[in-house]
Each structure stands twice: as structure tokens, then as C-alpha cells.
């Protein structure tokens, strides 16, 4: 599309020069508007390329993080972190620590595929 507009610019430039038209003439005004449209289309095209490159970069970084996490394996809570969570929630009884351990075990199971497939 931009290429076609550029070809039209060449045509209108030739017409304006050959006929020695003034800037107020219709072909000269069309030439001006056409140049503006090309400029805008090129900016949009550049923005689209930049956006595509950004999206590719985000996907690549996400895949790198995923692969690194896979290699690292499960990272559970330390006892200190578990106690801090219970303390922050105002729940310091043993029941809460047992519940916290059960939740962490379930998350580990879901995120590391350690369960055997159902037959």
C-alpha cells in the first residue's frame, strides 16, 4: 500500500512540475496529503514491527524463565518462611503449620508432575 502511494507521489510531482501548478492547486494539495498519509503509514508500520519484536522478546524471556524453573525444580518454603506466614496471619498453632505443609505438598505435586498417571 505504501509503495502504491509513493508511486502516486511521483506521478503528482511530475504533474505539478510539468504544469507548473501552484501550491493551492488540487494536484498540489493531493500531493501534500499523500505525503502525510505515507508518513503516517510508515510510522504505523514501524510501530507494528516494534510491537511484534517486543512480543517475541517477552515470549522468549518467558520460555527462558520456564526452562530455568524446570531445571531448578521445586523450591519450597523454608521453616522460617512458613512460620512468618503463620505469624503474619495470626495463626501460630500446630494446626496451621500442618495445613500449610499440606498446601505446599499439593502445590508441589501440581507443579512438578510427581503424581502417577491414573489408569
Asked if 94 and 61 sit in the same domain, the reply is no
For residue 51, the number of C-alpha atoms closer than 13 Å in the C-beta half-sphere is 6
Average pLDDT for the chain: 79
- Residue 51: pLDDT above 70? no
Asked if 64 and 14 sit in the same domain, the reply is yes
pTM above 0.75, yes or no: no
Highest mean pLDDT among 5-19, 53-67, 105-119: 5-19
Contact 42, 3 (CB under 8 A): no
pLDDT of 68-92, one tens digit each? 777 777 778 888 888 888 888 887 7
Asked if 2 and 55 sit in the same domain, the reply is yes
Cβ neighbours around 34 below 10 Å, total? 17
- pLDDT for position 53: 65
pLDDT confidence bin for 49, thresholds 50/70/90: low
pLDDT of 92-119, one tens digit each? 777 887 888 888 888 888 777 554 555 5
Asked if 59 and 85 sit in the same domain, the reply is no
Asked if 87 and 117 sit in the same domain, the reply is yes
Give the total number of structural domains in the chain.
2
Alpha helix ranges (H) inside 20-93: 26-72, 79-88
Asked if 65 and 93 sit in the same domain, the reply is no
Asked if 67 and 90 sit in the same domain, the reply is no
- pLDDT for position 24: 80
Asked if 1 and 53 sit in the same domain, the reply is yes
CA separation (Å) from 77 to 12, 68, 83, 84? Answer: 71, 19, 10, 10
Which residue range forms the structural domain that includes residue 85?
76-119
Asked if 67 and 18 sit in the same domain, the reply is yes
Amino acid at each position: 500500500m505504501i509503495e502504491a502511494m509513493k508511486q502516486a507521489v511521483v506521478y503528482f510531482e511530475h504533474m505539478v512540475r510539468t504544469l507548473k501548478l501552484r501550491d493551492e492547486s488540487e494536484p498540489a494539495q493531493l500531493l501534500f496529503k499523500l505525503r502525510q498519509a505515507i508518513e503516517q503509514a510508515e510510522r504505523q508500520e514501524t510501530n507494528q514491527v516494534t510491537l511484534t519484536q517486543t512480543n517475541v522478546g517477552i515470549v522468549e524471556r518467558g520460555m527462558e524463565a520456564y526452562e530455568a524453573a524446570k531445571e531448578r525444580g521445586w523450591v519450597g518454603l523454608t521453616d522460617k518462611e512458613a512460620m512468618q506466614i503463620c505469624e503474619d496471619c495470626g495463626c501460630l498453632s500446630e494446626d496451621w503449620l500442618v495445613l500449610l505443609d499440606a498446601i505446599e505438598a499439593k502445590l508441589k505435586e501440581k507443579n512438578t508432575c510427581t503424581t502417577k498417571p491414573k489408569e
